[in-house]
């Protein structure tokens, strides 16, 4: 198996970005992550603190892991405001990406396994205590923006990250480099001031983040969250990012995904229809979609 084989297999599965990095190097972001937790920036997401010790090494996820294959799947697409309908973050407009990516990573593991029949694999899509973005940076997929998103200089930030850990030793990619320079468009555009500068770097304070309040939160959100008019997640900091603006010299930048799993399969119900939904109707509407994460009560709260 050559690096070109891996790249071709990944792209055939719908992963526009792919790279490989070591699974044994210590995580540079671990100490900073603990500082982020100590500041309470994880809000009500107590599981992040409880699982923090597991993030120090990939041994807890796949014992004997040597390499991390990191992939990116483009979800960029138009998402115009429609009066009377819920505003949903782009990544959640289609099928549940966790399921889509896991199936594809399982296929990729089988293809790689033909060259490494003794190798072990584990696919991770927001399902394990690992630093996905740091692995993605090491594997060359992108660099950290001020809004904490991983940004690819050619394709922007609207891509989902998946990781395939393996005990096979594969050639490593070159880490990505880049930066925002003096640009602060995402900071200025965030309606709740969630992008803050602490401990020498920019990060997101979940206690002010619209995505946290519309997806993870169990308690009632503060009034300024309602004013943003978002029902599930938020793309504001990405919408203003220059790296997500189309350019004739870089046709892949901000290119609309052609993956049917990530595009809407049909029109979502209106705000009024969601408000009047029974739990059984909500269950049918959200089945197989990432929007199910906020729960029936959470959707009712957000719509109100």
Percentage of the residues of the chain whose pLDDT score is greater than 70: 98
DSSP for the chain, please give it.
--HHHHHHHHHHTT-SEEEEEESSSPPTTHHHHHHHHHTTTTTT-HHHHHTGGGGG-GGGTSTT--EEEEEEEE--------TTS--B-GGGSSS-HHHHHHHHHHHHHHHHHTT-TT--EEEESS-SSS-HHHHHHHTTS-EE-TTS-EEBTTTBS-EEEEEEEESS--PPPPPP----TT--HHHHH-TT--EEEETTEEEE-GGG-HHIIIII--SPPPHHHHHT--SB---HHHHT-GGGS-BTTBTTTTPPP--TTTS-SSPPPPHHHHHT--HHHHHHHHTTSGGGGGHHHHHHHHH-
Question: What is the reported pLDDT for 254?
Answer: 67
Q: Is the dihedral of CA 147, 299, 161, 240 positive or negative?
A: negative
Measured distance CA(266)–CA(93) in Å, rounded: 10
Structure tokens given for 114: 């033909």
Which pTM does this prediction carry?
Answer: 0.95
Q: With the CA atoms of 84, 89, 95 and 97 taken in that order, what torsion angle do they form, in degrees rounded to the nearest 10?
A: -170
Weakest-pLDDT range from 95-109, 138-152, 217-231: 217-231
Task: Say whether pLDDT at 127 is over 90.
Answer: no
Percentage of the residues of the chain whose pLDDT score is greater than 90: 90
Q: What would the mean pLDDT of 95-106 be, rounded to a whole number?
A: 98
Q: What's the pLDDT tens digit per position in 9-67?
A: 999 999 999 999 999 999 999 999 999 999 999 999 999 999 999 999 999 999 999 99
Question: What is the reported pLDDT for 246?
Answer: 82
Question: What is the reported pLDDT for 248?
Answer: 65
Structure tokens given for 296: 């029936």
Question: What is the reported pLDDT for 3?
Answer: 80
Q: How many domains does the chain have?
A: 1
Measured distance CA(33)–CA(38) in Å, rounded: 9
Q: What would the mean pLDDT of 128-152 be, rounded to a whole number?
A: 97
Q: What's the pLDDT tens digit per position in 111-126?
A: 999 999 999 999 999 9
Question: What is the reported pLDDT for 187?
Answer: 98
How far apart, in Å, do the first and last CA atoms of the chain sit?
54
Q: What's the pLDDT tens digit per position in 220-274?
A: 888 888 888 899 999 999 999 999 998 766 766 768 999 999 999 888 999 999 9
Question: What is the reported pLDDT for 188?
Answer: 98
Rounded to an integer, what is the distance from CA 41 to the centroid of its chain? Answer: 18
Q: What's the pLDDT tens digit per position in 65-78?
A: 999 999 999 999 99
Q: What's the pLDDT tens digit per position in 163-187?
A: 999 999 999 999 999 999 999 999 9
Question: What is the reported pLDDT for 19?
Answer: 98
Q: In the annotation, is 126 catalytic?
A: yes
Q: What is the largest CA-CA distance in the chain?
A: 56
Please give the residue range of the domain that contains residue 36: 3-303
**Under 8 Å between Cβ of 71 and 161:** yes
Q: What would the mean pLDDT of 129-158 be, rounded to a whole number?
A: 97
Q: Is the dihedral of CA 213, 219, 223, 227 positive or negative?
A: positive
**Under 8 Å between Cβ of 88 and 232:** yes
Looking at 12, 126, 235, 272, which residue is catalytic? 126
Task: Say whether pLDDT at 152 is over 80.
Answer: yes
């Amino acid at each position: 198996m050559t690096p070109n084989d891996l790249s071709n297999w990944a792209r055939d599965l719908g992963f526009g970005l792919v790279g490989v990095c070591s699974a044994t190097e210590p995580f540079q972001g671990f100490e900073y992550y603990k500082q982020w937790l100590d500041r309470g920036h994880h809000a009500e997401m107590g599981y992040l603190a409880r699982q923090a010790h597991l993030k120090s090494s990939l041994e807890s996820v796949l014992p004997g892991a040597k390499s991390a294959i990191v992939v990116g799947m483009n979800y960029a697409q138009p998402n115009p405001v429609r009066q009377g309908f819920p505003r949903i973050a782009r990544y959640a407009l289609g099928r549940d990406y966790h399921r889509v990516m896991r199936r594809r990573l399982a296929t990729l593991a089988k293809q790689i396994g033909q060259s490494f029949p003794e190798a072990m694999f584990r696919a991770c899509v927001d399902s394990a205590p690992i630093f996905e973005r740091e692995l993605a940076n090491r594997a060359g997929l992108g660099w950290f923006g001020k809004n904490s998103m991983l940004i690819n200089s050619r394709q922007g930030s609207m891509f989902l990250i998946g990781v395939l850990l393996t005990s096979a030793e594969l050639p490593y990619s070159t880490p990505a480099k880049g930066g925002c320079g003096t640009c602060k468009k995402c900071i200025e555009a965030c309606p709740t001031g969630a992008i803050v500068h602490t401990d020498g770097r920019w990060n997101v304070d979940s206690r002010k983040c619209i995505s946290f309040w519309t997806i993870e939160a169990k308690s009632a959100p503060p009034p300024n969250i309602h004013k943003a008019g978002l029902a599930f997640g938020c793309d504001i900091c990405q919408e203003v990012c220059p790296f997500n603006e189309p350019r004739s010299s870089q046709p892949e930048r901000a290119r609309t995904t052609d993956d049917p799993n990530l595009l809407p399969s049909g029109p979502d119900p209106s705000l009024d229809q969601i408000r009047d939904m029974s739990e059984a109707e909500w269950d049918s509407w959200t089945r197989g979609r990432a929007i199910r994460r906020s729960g029936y009560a959470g959707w009712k709260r957000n719509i109100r």
